[in-house]
Chains A and B, each alone.
Chain A
Amino acid sequence: MGDLAAEKHAKYILLVEKRKDDVESVLMEHLRINGAYWGLTTLDILGKLEAVEQERVVSWVMSCQHESGGFGGSEGHDPHVLYTLSAIQILALFDKIDVLDIDKVSSYIASLQNEDGSFSGDIWGEIDTRFSYVAICSLALLHRLDRINVEKAVKYIISCKNLDGGFGCTPGAESHAGQIFCCIGALAITGSLHYVDKDLLGWWLCERQVKSGGLNGRPEKLPDVCYSWWVLSSLIMIDRVHWIDKEKLVKFILDCQDTENGGISDRPDDAVDVFHTYFGVAGLSLLEYPGLKAIDPAYALPVDVVNRIFLR
């Protein structure tokens, strides 16, 4: 295990942004705006956000906005809440939320709430607690939570709670660490964590740590660096993060680095990508790894950005 190769990771991210002609870049184009959020947030945590041309990024983000107010994954793509949150988060990083027509964006998101409190991802009606989180997080960052029925939104999330204290995509669906992050994050932002059985869920979450020190997302599955984020942030929000072995997890994440070319992969010696680089670095930040900016577990943005929005 070496130290965190911060310089190399920053270089890797800047390089990926420029690469457009290989298969990966083309296949990822539908979620380019998510990729931009992962990359930029990683750079910020590493203290390297100045390397980015802010104005170019902001105007590109705005070019992904659809007339409905929502954002697409790339220019000309259909809008969806998943991409809308990334757009808002990128603007928040640069303290540029004011370039948005906030009422228009909020109306788009609010229009996707259903009668039972759940959220559709877009006009085509797929329902998932991921979209509840995304909608709630977006509106909170815009100071527009009052545009939706928060109580119903919370009730719906609670209706997705399972025997293990975790949450699934819809009522009855199996618990999954990514889904748990979304539900716990949404409950945290709406001050509703009292609905969570913290000891039961905490036990399930801490048992995600496997022998190698890495975390899996469901029982009897392989560990993966991305769960460093989903599991850790959930454990932090419910105040049970002391139930895992943090040092072993730090080691697992560092073992997944490509120390030669930068980037972090899902498991040691696999191919790196921006997604896992973000979750690895963000995970290390949640583990208080020295030299990294602190990241907020609910809004998934650096703490100083979140404080600027809510505590000023």
Chain B
Amino acid sequence: MHGRPRKSATPIDESASALKAAKIRSLQSQFLQNHHNKIYTKEALEINAKLIEANPEFMTAWNYRKLAFEHNLSSQSEAEKGDSDHVKSIIDEELRVVENALRKNFKSYGAWHHRKWVVSKGNSSTERELRLLNLFQKQDTRNFHAWNYRRFIAGLKSISEEKELQFTTDMINDNFSNYSAWHNRSVLLSHLLDKKVEGYFPKEIFLTEEYEFVRNAVFTDPDDQSGWFYHLWLLDQTIKLDMPVLASFWPPPGSDLNVPRDLDANKATFPVILYFNEPVEGVSCHTVTVQTEYDIYNNITWSPLSTNKFGCAHAWVTHMGIPHEELDSSKTYQVKISSEHYQGITSLSSVPLSEPWSFAFTVSICHDLQPAEGQSLGRLSLTDANFCTIDSNSNRTALLNSAFQFTNDDEQPTSSKWKSEIIASEIAQYRELLSWAECKIGKLTLARLLVAYDAMITGTEFTPSIAEEVLQLCSELMKLDPPHYQYYKDEYSSILLKQVTSSKESLLKYCWQYKEPTSLNITSPMCLRLNSLSLSRIGSIERLLWVQSLDLSHNQLHSIEGLEALQLLSCLNLSHNKLGSFMALDPLRFLKSLRMLDISYNEIGAHTVDTKRYLCSSPLSHTVAFDKKFKEFANGDAKVMDFWEPFSIFGGLNLIQLDIVGNAAVDERFVFLLVKLLPALKWLDGEELH
């Protein structure tokens, strides 16, 4: 029972309770009888009203009143018809019953809805409804039913949004600790902004005032959350781009791709990746043109790299094939990718791309012979001992170089002056707050403001001193607010990766070369090693599209969301992390080039709760149908039915080398199934398979 103290009932309590119960029960059975027999007399309605007063949550009782209302209006005598007083008295009676019910329980869904239903029939006075609302909203300033009803009445009676905005101002001036009022303010302002109402456009006028308004609340009591989310919303309104943009892509413009020929399949393909700043839909051969100097490719298929079935994603890929008859030639092609119809590519809220784009690169076939898969393949060791530093001038870094050619030259700060001024002034204000109050919202807000400000001034570069300050703030927050330690830790990891990937020079510090030639010959000799950085999440994916070999071992990753965009990835080390389930490996499904995978020493199978269960492709989320092939695979063995998850992940991979030891889910039986699932597998946990 909400808010009622626990105490054992005395005999007097019990008999009183039984008496009251018998009374209500009798009302209830009389009412149900009337309801089932469609009796709507005055006496019957009175029984119903008494019952509702005792129990405003009884939905069937409210339904009955609606039936009675309709019945009594339609069966009125000729004399009563057109008698507006008669109609009014019926309506008044309903409003009275609702008001009584609300006095008993002002959170009763049934009562509020009944009032809406009656008022919608017309004949109600706006003043009366507002009076009722003022009463309830004064008694409980956070009652969301009352706020909802207020929005309903404002809509029904066409009360202006400016007037309602003033109401929120008044409520907040009464007491700033009113999240409901701040919320409604954001709703009203969003509408006014969308409609570009005078005084709210351009945005900067109202934004400056709103920052000040919410600052008063936050600075008065920094621990009161009422203004926190509103401030973050204002910041988002200040910095967000109004339209999606192409953030990065692969191959880099002007690069020369040397595509290896797959001798077994007798073809040569390479991926083209488009990475947008937010998930978009509509990438297709109708919106994107692929053109060589000889031909236009009309039947290119673009696939969204995401598990949803709605065809939207941050990253889109197509695997381009070189025409069969050209496989033996040593020609170099120019390929041009351009947004033919860029407005057909839209964000999830249907906003089209802001501008057209195009890029071109050249492709030739690499004729160096490779050992066919399955022939004398040695195991690639991914331990520290097998790496040496890389010479930044060597051609090994060509991939990295070409990837950064584009971003560094082309990135322009896109901010306008007023935005950076607003944020700079907020930064000063929050520094001031922190000078006299050690509060978490101050530190967190300052960190967010600094990141936003730096992005405006420098584009994708990250000013080292600002990066350091933000990381320091995150560290302090971890100590200041231990229950949310992991939230700040995740922030820290995102910022660290932003810093690491901010320039070619900084990335080069993390690039290593394999000492042994990679005998599998399927990955580049260079590996990006982001290991042992205590990362709890990954990010800055748009800066890593060029990576073929990635070491993320010895971190604290429990998610690899985003890795699906790294379409060139052939070698991935995720050992010694916190991946907690097979479904956490879902992004790997999209990595068709992946040949070597190390997921040893994670927590797969160690948890009863799977936090990826609804973020991956699964029949539970209706993103894929139940795979009938699995039934064949299980072959009636009930125990194998538990292996649906590994089946769905590993079934689509083409691995040669896998390390999976050190996970709770791995036992003899599992290994047996795994080997059956991965026919090309040569090395499992360091052992050669026969």
Instruction: Enumerate chain A interface residues (CB-CB to B < 8 A).
Output: 21-27, 29-31, 72-73, 76-78, 80, 122, 124-126, 128, 140, 145, 151, 158, 162-164, 168-170, 172-176, 188-195, 200, 202-204, 206-207, 209, 213, 218-221, 224, 236-239, 241-245, 248, 258, 261, 265-267, 269-273, 285-286, 288, 294, 296-298, 303, 306, 310-312
CB-nearest residue of chain B relative to A208?
B225
CB-nearest residue of chain B relative to A310?
B619
| Cα–Cα distance between A200 and B621 once the two chains are bound (Å) | 22
Report yes or no: B310 in contact with A30, Cβ–Cβ below 8 A. no
- CB of B179 within 8 Å of the partner chain: yes
Interface residue count for B (Cβ, 8 Å)? 89
Contacts of A175 in B (CB 8 A): 183
| Cα–Cα distance between A245 and B482 once the two chains are bound (Å) | 8
Q: Which of B66, B109, B608, B644 has the most CB of A within 10 A?
A: B608
Pairs of residues from A and B, 10 with the lowest C-beta to C-beta distance, nearest first: A245-B483, A188-B614, A191-B623, A219-B225, A191-B621, A163-B186, A163-B233, A294-B608, A164-B229, A243-B487
Contacts of A288 in B (CB 8 A): 607-609
CB-CB contacts below 8 Å: B1-47 with A: 1-8, 14, 17-18, 20-22, 24-25, 28, 32, 36
| Cα–Cα distance between A206 and B623 once the two chains are bound (Å) | 28
Pick the residue among B5, B17, B313 that contacts A23 (CB under 8 A).
Answer: B17
Q: Beyond A30-B59, A221-B142, A271-B1: 17 further Cβ-contacts under 8 Å?
A: A22-B14, A22-B18, A23-B17, A26-B24, A29-B28, A30-B55, A30-B60, A173-B144, A174-B144, A191-B308, A220-B177, A237-B615, A239-B615, A294-B608, A294-B609, A298-B614, A311-B644
In the assembled complex, how far is the CB of residue A182 from the closest CB belonging to chain B, in whole angstroms?
Answer: 13
Report yes or no: A204 in contact with B229, Cβ–Cβ below 8 A. yes
Pick the residue among A189, A242, A248 that contacts B558 (CB under 8 A).
Answer: A242
- CB of B559 within 8 Å of the partner chain: yes
Report yes or no: B60 in contact with A273, Cβ–Cβ below 8 A. no
Report yes or no: A200 in contact with B232, Cβ–Cβ below 8 A. yes
Report yes or no: B3 in contact with A27, Cβ–Cβ below 8 A. no
CB-CB contacts below 8 Å: B166-187 with A: 177, 179-180, 183-184, 186-187
Report yes or no: B229 in contact with A76, Cβ–Cβ below 8 A. no
| Cα–Cα distance between A191 and B229 once the two chains are bound (Å) | 27
Report yes or no: A192 in contact with B2, Cβ–Cβ below 8 A. no
Report yes or no: A310 in contact with B183, Cβ–Cβ below 8 A. no
- CB of B309 within 8 Å of the partner chain: yes
Report yes or no: B6 in contact with A169, Cβ–Cβ below 8 A. no
A126-B113, A163-B233 known; A266+B484 contact, CB < 8 A? no
| Cα–Cα distance between A312 and B232 once the two chains are bound (Å) | 45
Report yes or no: B179 in contact with A124, Cβ–Cβ below 8 A. no
- CB of B103 within 8 Å of the partner chain: no
User: What are 16 sample pairs from A and B whose C-beta atoms fall under 8 A apart?
Assistant: A26-B28, A73-B59, A125-B117, A163-B187, A169-B144, A173-B148, A174-B144, A174-B180, A175-B183, A189-B614, A243-B487, A245-B483, A258-B6, A271-B5, A311-B641, A311-B644
Report yes or no: A26 in contact with B25, Cβ–Cβ below 8 A. yes
Report yes or no: A237 in contact with B614, Cβ–Cβ below 8 A. yes
- CB of B226 within 8 Å of the partner chain: yes
Report yes or no: B614 in contact with A145, Cβ–Cβ below 8 A. no
- CB of B215 within 8 Å of the partner chain: no
CB-nearest residue of chain A relative to B110?
A126
CB-nearest residue of chain A relative to B18?
A21
| Cα–Cα distance between A273 and B2 once the two chains are bound (Å) | 9
Contacts of A76 in B (CB 8 A): 32, 36
| Cα–Cα distance between A24 and B21 once the two chains are bound (Å) | 8
